[in-house]
Amino acid sequence: MSSRFPEIFRRYQATRALSRTLAAPLSDADATVQSMPDASPAKWHLAHTSWFFEAMVLQRFSKDYAPFDPAFGYLFNSYYEALGARHPRPRRGLLTRPTLDSIYAYRDHVDRAVEAFFQRAFCEAAGELIELGCHHESQHQELLLTDILHLFAQNPLRPAYKERASDEAGEATPVRFLAFAGGLAELGAGVENFAYDCERPRHRVFVSPYRLADRLVTNAEWIAFIDAGGYGNPLLWLSEGWAKRLAEGWTAPLYWERREGAWWTMTLSGLRRVDPAAPVAHVSYFEADAFARWCGKRLPTEAEWELAAEPLPMRGNFLETGRSRPAAAEGEGLRQMFGDLWEWTSSPFSPYPRFRPAEGEASEYNAKFMCGQFVLRGGSCVSPKAHIRATYRNFFPPDARWQFSGVRLAEDS
């Protein structure tokens, strides 16, 4: 039996319990509706993460496992071509049945089977896949909240996922740029700890000297950009970004709305006044890039970001703080690198030198998305803390705005 058995077992139980806690405030209807093709219903997240254990672990390693419902493979496979046909993504929100209660029963069924499997038949290979499944579920926990925010933002009633007392608006410290020497560095994940395939292998990269902002761009700074006509000046924008801006009519970050002369924004606690000191959230790569150009700065590369982040302690405003909104930077030094908001980098999501996809069905996890996306780093206020590490590469298309994404500036030194 693997020496990592107890750790994985604890992680499994904690992860599975957390999903249920996160879904608790949702009605059956809340958990069923899909607000756009890019988003998925909460019910679907709850089921898909269970299907992942069923398809990747139980059906492969547990000989006598009886699937909860043979139709669920079709309904809850996300994009694994090797695992058969699946319900089309834009139609996930039409599944009023199975009900939320059935999905909970499905989760219980899978949990019982995995826990029995732990007791009876645990092996190294299964353990690795269970660990992958836990990270996978952590990722979907963030997506569940991200997608619920999008859903509730479509509702003219602007409902709250969770009521919270009004936040004390902090005061943002002036931004400072910290110098880094660069050089021939080693980046990427080593073999000792868990990492997704796309974080590997550890490899050498040459980095010129650079400087990084010591905190994220704030809402106050973003309002200055808006007021200076930043959304109206094509010379600041990438060509494709400008076309998108025109087509979508962007004039402010996603979820911002103007009411009686003030900016408000939709949050998981309903509609709130925009806090000037807090970091700007829900901006696309296109907006982040235009903002940086307006400042005479640029976005960091992922190598620059990772070099700076590597020595830092893993601390920040993650899901566990319960805040679920980014907070103003406090203290000194390089802040907000972890948590608060995913930080857009200027690096397209490409394979590292000598990259090899994971073996088996998990090979589709990341590799087939290495096109048309940009890397984001550092996790957010809705990322479970254990899910994040300095080498973690998140990725989204440059027009995506519904993620908890923000901006850190960089410059050549």
Question: Which residue bears the tokens 């930043």?
Answer: 230
Cβ-Cβ contacts under 8 Å for 74 (sequence gap 6 or more): 84, 85, 86, 87
**Minimum CB–partner distance for residue 84 and a second copy (Å):** 11
13-21, 32-40, 215-223, 305-313 -> range binding a second copy (CB under 8 A):
32-40
For residue 148, give Cα distances in angstroms to 114, 227, 272, 297, 402.
28, 30, 16, 34, 10
6-14, 134-142, 231-239, 384-392 -> range binding a second copy (CB under 8 A):
231-239
Q: Tell whether residue 33 is a contact of a second copy (CB under 8 A).
A: yes
Q: Tell whether residue 348 is a contact of a second copy (CB under 8 A).
A: yes
Give the 3-state secondary structure of the chain.
CCCCHHHHHHHHHHHHHHHHHHHCCCCCCCCCCCCCCCCCCHHHHHHHHHHHHHHHHHHHHCCCCCCCCCCHHHHHCCCCHHHCCCCCHHHHHHCCCCCHHHHHHHHHHHHHHHHHHHHHHCCHHHHHHHHHHHHHHHHHHHHHHHHHHHHHHHCCCCCCCCCCCCCCCCCCCCCCEEEECCEEEEECCCCCCCCCHHHCCCEEEEECCEEEECCCCEHHHHHHHHHCCHHHCHHHCCHHHHHHHHHHCCCCCCCEEEECCEEEEEECCEEEECCCCCECCCCCHHHHHHHHHHHCCECCCHHHHHHHHCCCCCCCECHHHCCCCCCCCCCCCCCCCCECCEEEEEEECCCCCCCCCCCHHHHHCCHHHCCCCEEEECCCCCCCHHHCCCCCCEEECCCCCCCCEECCCEEEC
If the CB atoms of residues 87 and 385 are measured against a second copy, the closer one turns out to be 87
Q: Tell whether residue 20 is a contact of a second copy (CB under 8 A).
A: no
- φ, ψ for residue 242 (rounded to 5)? -65, -40
If the CB atoms of residues 218 and 346 are measured against a second copy, the closer one turns out to be 346
Q: Tell whether residue 350 is a contact of a second copy (CB under 8 A).
A: yes
Q: Tell whether residue 74 is a contact of a second copy (CB under 8 A).
A: yes
**Minimum CB–partner distance for residue 383 and a second copy (Å):** 23
For residue 149, give Cα distances in angstroms to 128, 135, 387.
32, 22, 20
Taking CB under 8 A as the rule, which mask of x and - marks residues 239-278 in contact with a second copy?
Answer: xxxx------------------------------------
Q: Tell whether residue 230 is a contact of a second copy (CB under 8 A).
A: no
If the CB atoms of residues 234 and 333 are measured against a second copy, the closer one turns out to be 234
- For the chain, what's the residue count? 413
The encoded tokens of residue 311 equal: 């020595």
Q: By rule CB under 8 A, what count of residues binds a second copy? A: 61
> Which of 29, 178, 179, 246 touches a second copy by CB under 8 A?
29
Q: Tell whether residue 90 is a contact of a second copy (CB under 8 A).
A: no
Taking CB under 8 A as the rule, which mask of x and - marks residues 307-326 in contact with a second copy?
Answer: --------------------
**Minimum CB–partner distance for residue 372 and a second copy (Å):** 6
Q: Tell whether residue 28 is a contact of a second copy (CB under 8 A).
A: yes
Q: Tell whether residue 51 is a contact of a second copy (CB under 8 A).
A: no
Q: Tell whether residue 287 is a contact of a second copy (CB under 8 A).
A: no
Q: Tell whether residue 359 is a contact of a second copy (CB under 8 A).
A: no
Q: Tell whether residue 346 is a contact of a second copy (CB under 8 A).
A: yes
Q: Tell whether residue 154 is a contact of a second copy (CB under 8 A).
A: yes
Q: Tell whether residue 351 is a contact of a second copy (CB under 8 A).
A: yes
110-118, 166-174, 190-198, 233-241 -> range binding a second copy (CB under 8 A):
233-241
130-138, 139-147, 150-158, 216-224 -> range binding a second copy (CB under 8 A):
150-158
Distance of alpha carbon 128 from alpha carbon 349, whole angstroms: 25
Q: Tell whether residue 205 is a contact of a second copy (CB under 8 A).
A: yes
Q: Tell whether residue 190 is a contact of a second copy (CB under 8 A).
A: no
Q: Tell whether residue 25 is a contact of a second copy (CB under 8 A).
A: no
3-11, 46-54, 80-88, 163-171 -> range binding a second copy (CB under 8 A):
80-88
Contact positions vs a second copy (CB under 8 A): 27-33, 35, 71, 74-75, 79, 81-82, 87, 91, 93-100, 151, 154-157, 159, 184, 203-206, 208, 234-235, 237-242, 285-286, 346-348, 350-351, 353-354, 364, 368-372, 398, 412
